Amino acid sequence: MLNALSILLASGDAEGEARAERSFERQGFFRARRIEWNGGSVVAWGCPGQQQVEDCAVETSSGSACCVGPLWFRGHFGRQALVALLDEVHATGRLEEGALRGNFALFLDAGEHTWLLNDALGFVRIYASTDRCFFSTSWLAACAYLQRAEVDAASAIEYVLVGASHSCHSVARGVDLLPLGHVQDLRRRRTWQRFPDGFGLHDAGFASLDAAVGAVAEHLRTVSNEVAAAFPGRVNAALSGGFDSRLIVAGMLAAGVQPRLFVYGDADSADVAIAKAVAGAAGLELEAIDKGMMDKGRPMPDLESLEQSALFFDGLPNDGIHDPGADHLTRLQQTADGRIALNGGGGEIFRNFFHLPDRAFHARDIVRAFYRGFSRGAFREPDGLANYEARLAASMRNTVGMSTAGNGRRARGRLARAQVELLYPLFRCHYWMSVNNSVAVRHGYYTTPLVDLAFVRLALRVPLRWKDAGALESRLIAALHPAVAAQSSAYGFSFDAGPDWRARLAEWTACARPVRLRPLINAARRRLRNIRAAPALLQRYRTLLPGEWRMDPLLDLAQLPDDRALARALAIEVVWRRIL
């Protein structure tokens, strides 16, 4: 497969491209294919050990195409999908969105059309330089294209505090993301919206829970069959005690696939115990992986290993770069031998992710409900928290089509409950989950099959009351594979029985918490549990990287909420000191 792309337009900076190519080589990639087209060139990059690129880069009489990440088109995969897509776009000049599936970034030169795009929800990120002449799936390469990269303060704050920047601006000023649901038209030097009417369909809601279960299960069977056909006998699936991984396993089994399962946790972990029961009921192979034990005895990362970690994870991963080695190794193991790794990320579209009651909310309510897991004192500037909340709220409104420009009353208006539901796939998943997915496809085939365009549209038709406490997902798992559903879960009930009164009470209690009080509740929880970044860890990295850090003028690192936030601040410092 291909693991990265870079595109330079004819008017771009050749020296910048050379810097980007050196960045790719430093990240461990090799140049697999270069395709010239009328207006520029595209370079496809691979990883050692994955040098079979014929399924991911094609040139035909209809044009040329190359793809990073798994892509299905009209049920075809790999080379067949790209050839069929080239032929159709060449003949019609149109992109049939409903026929595309997977997590991918795609270059397509067909007839009069030369396009760069990713999957509908943007799970494989595409970065653009400020001159709009260089594009890449690698953030580090896009930064290297610039002669000088500076930290974007607001984006860096979001990355450190919540794991990703939540706008089209990356942590490096001058490197932006391809906007959600857009195509970069490389010939005409513009972008256009693939979904002018929005991501949600205006179909009526389901008449019954049975109808909803039937429609979602049918699409999951289709997705599972496509995966099975593309990767016969080569499917790995994560499994835990929760809903989403169980739903993937049930879908695979319903399609006649016997995935190889893996679970993360130590011998006493509830996830491991539940996964063993599920695997036994389905007759599946299960590997329990104890990351803590893998890292035990390994030395604490030094500057060299931190730098290598940043190169492996494309600079700024969700959890930062404090990795003694287990995260790096297990990612490679998941996709070894040409296997595809399936992950349940995004399955919360079938549940009440934000734990909010069924009514309209202001965008800032969502920020306070979900994006305030830290102390106000973490900000250096007096208005730091207010600016952070306003920026996230503005990005949410833009995501669901309520622009902050123009009519002030509209900008201050509430989001309808359907828009709140859309914020999970289009905002939370698009900005946060895409970071992890983009890292994963750098090293092998990986996909999150529970959240695609069709599933998002189906989930919008489901009344919220059916999603509460996991009622819908329980029914889905039971409909697809009763034996798998009959095993216990981390929620205290089996999925064939569905949520009991305790689970429904817990859901009601969570939803009833006033939004304005949730930051205070989080603060009390942090104090009671003494949750914060470990002072000894901060001191160690201060010693390794002496002097003022780039985040010091913006955030008080001693008041970060946990070690992962500290590891993200560390990632920014290592990238700017050692790589850029």
- What is the DSSP-derived secondary structure letter of residue 118? E
Average pLDDT (233-248) is 96
pLDDT tier at 302, thresholds 50, 70, 90:
very high
Which residues fall within 8 angstroms of residue 417, CB to CB, at 6 or more apart?
A: 358, 359, 360, 361, 464
Residue 48 has pLDDT above 80, yes or no: no
Q: Residue 406: what pLDDT? A: 37
Q: Residue 408: what pLDDT? A: 41
Domain coordinates in residue numbering, the chain = 4-193, 209-350+423-507, 363-415+516-579
Residue type, 494: S
Residue 53 has pLDDT above 90, yes or no: no
Residue 209 has pLDDT above 90, yes or no: yes
Q: Residue 410: what pLDDT? A: 43
Q: Residue 402: what pLDDT? A: 61
Measure the CA–CA gap between 469 and 461, rounded to whole angstroms. Answer: 17
Measure the CA–CA gap between 325 and 309, rounded to whole angstroms. Answer: 9
Q: pLDDT digit string (tens) for 518-563?
A: 888 887 887 787 778 899 999 999 999 999 999 999 999 999 999 9
Q: Residue 54: what pLDDT? A: 66
- The CATH superfamily holding the domain 209-350+423-507 is HUPs (3.40.50.620)
Measure the CA–CA gap between 498 and 507, rounded to whole angstroms. Answer: 13
pTM of the complete model? 0.94
Domain 4-193 in CATH 1.10.357.10? no
Q: Residue 56: what pLDDT? A: 87
Average pLDDT (30-37) is 91
Of the candidate ranges 55-59, 357-361, 511-515, the one whose mean pLDDT is the lowest? 55-59
User: DSSP of 452-477, one letter per residue?
Assistant: SHHHHHHHHTS-HHHHGGGHHHHHHH
Q: Where are the alpha helices (DSSP H) in 231-265?
A: 243-254
pLDDT tier at 403, thresholds 50, 70, 90:
very low
pLDDT tier at 392, thresholds 50, 70, 90:
very high
pLDDT tier at 404, thresholds 50, 70, 90:
very low
User: DSSP of 334-401, one letter per residue?
Assistant: HTGGG-EEE--TTGGGGS-TT---SS-B-HHHHHHHHS--S-GGGBSSTTHHHHHHHHHHHHHHHHTT
Measured at the CA of 426, the angle between CA 27 and CA 505, to 5 degrees, comes to 115
Name the nearest CA neighbour of 448 among 69, 79, 107, 73.
69
Name the nearest CA neighbour of 556 among 544, 566, 567.
566
Average pLDDT (296-319) is 94
Average pLDDT (354-380) is 94
Q: Residue 198: what pLDDT? A: 80
